[in-house]
Structure formats: structure tokens, C-alpha cells
Amino acid sequence: MNTIRTAGTLALGAALLAGCTERSTPTAPSDSRAIALSAAGQTSAVDDPTGDVKNKYPAYLDIVRAATTRKDRSFIFTLDLAAAVPDDPAADFPSGPDFVNVSLFGLDTDPTGVLLGYPFKEHTANPFELFIAVSWNPTGSWGLGTGFVGLLVDRRPLLTGGQAVVRSVPFTIEGSRVTLVVDATLLGDPATFQWGAATVVSNHAAPTDEFTVSDFAPDNGLPLVNWPQ
């Protein structure tokens, strides 16, 4: 599946919460999920156990906490990791991956639909309409050069036979904290949605189903987190 590229954007090469292909029913907060909400109801967050990163990947792919916050006209997506993200992760990946997502959020804004295709292969189903990610792309396969990039992929056009739209979004990496800021209008200004977070490693550019989810938040990817609660 091709994507429509906007100026200064790239095709999201990665992505996804592969284990989150099944929907969850909204539930009340539980201690095990450590969901925290602000008094105004504009933040939802989930803690994740330290030390559960898969395949002995670096600790900066081990999620400690993930949070989604609405502030004014923007959504802020924050991932806290078990170690600081290096400026150049190449030494930790001698096999030369196509991309490493040090932060990935999937948003399910429409519980009635399941989408097929990009950034997965054409017939692969996934419930998330939107992905927001910070990816390290040493190959430059997405057209933004090499290094870290912030991405938003809007999959909603796939529901009507269109193409996924990919845009660049601002991000920061401050030690072990990775933050993305997205204008609410780019997400459809949703009043509510469910979300999950992950870190991902892939040797293949998108569209692909061949990747490793190195860690999930919530743990194991389900149930998804509600925003707001």
C-alpha cells in the first residue's frame, strides 16, 4: 500500500503494536495497570515493569511509563524508558536494522473499524487508525535522511479505499524521556480514544509484518488504555 507524502514527511517504516490486534472493553483503573489520571481528566498513563524488554535489547527500549496528555490544542505523548537514548544507537545494533522505534503510540479512535494495510502488508488487519512514533532510521529509507525522526501516520483513509497519510511531527529526546507533540486537529480532535505504546525493531522498511515489539505498555499490549478516563 502506498502512502501520500506531504512536504517534509516520510513513509512510516515501522510501526505498530502487533500484539494489539484485538479490542478491549473500557475498564475502570486498576492497581496492576497503574493508570493515573489528572484531576482535570486530561492525562492517562500506565506504568510498565522494568526489565521485561525482549531479546536482550538495550534498556532504552524498556518502557517504564507511557502517558497521553491533552494540553490546549495539542496532544502530548510521553514515553519514559529504563535508560537514556543514545545519540547514535548503531553500536547496539551491529546487524544494521532499517529502523528502531524508541517510542510508538497507537490510537484506536473508532471502535467499529479495523483497517488493512500500511504500515503493514496489504492484507494485515490492525485496529489503530493513527500511529505516532520517534524512529531511528539509519538507512534513510523514509526519505528524511538518517537519524531520529518524529512521525504521524493517519490510516483513516484506508477505510474508504484511500491511502495512508504520513506527516512529520515535532519530538524531543531528553535522556530517557521521549516526547511527541501533535496538533489535535491532525488526530481528528477526538473526544475519547484507546491507546497503547511500544518500542519496535525491524530489519525491513514498511510496509512490513516482520518486526519485533521489544516492549509494550500496557504489559503484553492489552487491555488498551482509555483517554480520558
Say if 162 falls within a structural domain.
Answer: yes
The count of structural domains within the chain is: 1
Write down the pLDDT at residue 166: 83
d(CA 41, CA 39): 5
Record the pTM: 0.81
pLDDT tens digit string along 36-57?
444 444 999 999 999 999 999 9
Say if 229 falls within a structural domain.
Answer: no
Instruction: Name the more confident of 217 and 123.
Output: 217
**Which distant-in-sequence residues (6+ apart) come within 8 Å of 22 by Cβ?**
127, 222
Say if 127 falls within a structural domain.
Answer: yes
Write down the pLDDT at residue 92: 96
Say if 55 falls within a structural domain.
Answer: yes
Confidence bin at 211 (pLDDT 50/70/90) = confident
pLDDT tens digit string along 90-99?
999 998 899 9
**Which distant-in-sequence residues (6+ apart) come within 8 Å of 38 by Cβ?**
69
Distances (CA, A) of 15 to 32, 102, 136: 26, 11, 12
pLDDT at 107 over 90: yes
Write down the pLDDT at residue 208: 59
d(CA 67, CA 179): 10
Say if 205 falls within a structural domain.
Answer: yes
φ/ψ of residue 184, rounded to 5: -60, -30
d(CA 213, CA 219): 11
Write down the pLDDT at residue 209: 59
Domain that holds residue 201: 3-20+31-219
Say if 25 falls within a structural domain.
Answer: no
Say if 225 falls within a structural domain.
Answer: no
Mean pLDDT of 203-209: 67
Write down the pLDDT at residue 15: 36
Say if 228 falls within a structural domain.
Answer: no
SS (H, E, C) 95-110: CCCCEEEEEEEEEECC
Write down the pLDDT at residue 139: 85
Partners of 80 in the β-ladder = 65, 177
Instruction: Please report, for the domain that includes residue 154, its CATH number.
Output: 2.60.40
End-to-end alpha carbon distance in the chain: 35
pLDDT at 143 over 80: no
Q: Cell triple for residue 79?
A: 514515553
